[in-house]
Structure 1
């Protein structure tokens, strides 16, 4: 215990340090509408104006304050990506463990996942978002879940297979423990590293899909303030005011990288022959 406790503390400190940019962005996104110096839909300068006193990051294609739209445009994107990551990780974890504990059913689960993976991602986004009544963010989130679960199921099933065949799991099954007990108490605690890393990857994937949907004019629509939408709207004037595109790009990139690094740092280290279990 005296050896592992400092290691756990260092791991938590490292995770907190890596998560600092994401936490800062989330805080700014939550408080952004209150801190924005101008209304997000009101022109304050001429289109693609350079940074100045009235607009610290310049203006967008309609002369609206880029800083105000940046502060107000992250909440919906972060919430959507977080919801996608939670749903995909929870669904894939349940199906992956079920596939490992019930091999006969697992073969059908993995075959269904393989068939879904064959569907091109961009085509799937368009099909689901355009067929969804009203479209919008909910349609994009549904597309992200449909696309993310098959990949995640394969990862969890591969990690859960060796655990499900371990002696203590077989002993619990032979002792009459039901499927719920085997899943929650025997298999899941040994998949913390995989599930945590998977959550980070799915969050980044959620940000990626929401951003791609914005480029395809799906999901958020003008005049809504959204980081991904800001990139598409202002791409034509990137040489006039680079901040109109660079600021939301930087925010999305920092958010994705920070969450991934934090999830990696929080994941418990795999035991080695020199490390006692």
Structure 2
């Protein structure tokens, strides 16, 4: 007769984990310190419109002749800050609501129905409604829209991951022993969801980058003359044949940021235990 057991969590090699985390860390640090590294002003023309790369502008000029490299170095910090705020807000809210829904099944059914209704709202329409209804609009409105639209999806992920944990014997024993709800959420269920929450945070961060980028194409969120990667793509798209770097550079920056953050979140997540079946 065989018995199934779970092996202890496997440890990922440190070198492999570092190799996957380091690119994201370096890219984020470069983007945040970019305004200090910019070789020139971001709002003053230095070349002809869509001028070619030269000694004055290493990546050429944009539609107004401004230095593409300076705007690229200065445009990552606001995008990363917005995406980070979105990811933190969505993950925190979804964690609290999802764990609560798992521990209180009756409340969980109402939460699930509310999430289903919220998911029915098209994302682009929701962004436009929130951004246009916001008194001042801009980046804050886009961030609020991303949080409102992202929480329902994230709640379902967290609730699905927390449900098996909430049904285990030690949770029932702690509840029967008189432990309070907040204790069960924070000390009993939450530590078992680290892998799920890290993956969720990485996905929400990338989603925040995409939401801000989409908003820029819809002429919502960041507005000229602000230096922003997403805004650079929309502004310079008509002149892509004249100076491809004006569009390619911010596109590459956004793509590398999204991929590297996802790889880092996956590498930092605890390795799942491997099932073993001894004879």
Q: What's the TM-score bracket when you normalise by the shorter of the two chains?
A: over 0.9
Q: 1:220 corresponds to which residue? A: 222
Note if 1:87 corresponds to 2:89.
yes
Kindly report which structure 2 residues correspond to 1:51-62, keeping only aligned pairs within 5 A, or say none: 51-62=53-64
1:108 Cα deviation after fit: 0.8
Note if 1:71 corresponds to 2:73.
yes
Note if 1:154 corresponds to 2:153.
no
* Equivalent of residue 128 in structure 1, options 127, 130, 134: 130
* Equivalent of residue 8 in structure 1, options 5, 8, 11: 11
TM-score, scaled relative to structure 2: 0.94
Kindly report which structure 2 residues correspond to 1:203-218, keeping only aligned pairs within 5 A, or say none: 203-218=205-220
Q: 1:174 corresponds to which residue? A: 176
1:26 Cα deviation after fit: 1.8
**1:251 and 1:202 mapped to 2: Cα distance?**
18
SS in 2 for 1:74: helix
**1:53 and 1:4 mapped to 2: Cα distance?**
58
Does structure 1 retain, via aligned residues, the 8 Å contact 2:194–2:270?
yes
* Structure 1 residues not aligned, in runs of 5+: none
- Number of residue pairs aligned between Structure 1 and Structure 2: 272
1:33 Cα deviation after fit: 1.6
**2:160 and 2:108 mapped to 1: Cα distance?**
11
SS in 2 for 1:190: helix
Q: 2:139 corresponds to which residue? A: 137
* Structure 2 residues not aligned, in runs of 5+: 1-6
Q: 2:120 corresponds to which residue? A: 118
Note if 1:239 corresponds to 2:241.
yes
**1:99 and 1:223 mapped to 2: Cα distance?**
45
Note if 1:163 corresponds to 2:165.
yes
* Equivalent of residue 196 in structure 1, options 176, 195, 198: 198
Q: 1:21 corresponds to which residue? A: 23
Superposed CA RMSD: 1.7
Does structure 2 retain, via aligned residues, the 8 Å contact 1:140–1:219?
yes
1:158 Cα deviation after fit: 0.5
Does structure 1 retain, via aligned residues, the 8 Å contact 2:99–2:162?
yes
TM-score, scaled relative to structure 1: 0.94
1:8 Cα deviation after fit: 3.4
* Equivalent of residue 33 in structure 1, options 32, 35, 41: 35
1:25 Cα deviation after fit: 2.1
* Equivalent of residue 262 in structure 1, options 264, 272, 276: 264
Q: 236-245 or 29-38, which moves further after superposition?
A: 29-38
SS in 2 for 1:73: helix
**1:4 and 1:224 mapped to 2: Cα distance?**
51
Note if 1:98 corresponds to 2:100.
yes
**1:223 and 1:195 mapped to 2: Cα distance?**
36
1:24 Cα deviation after fit: 2.1
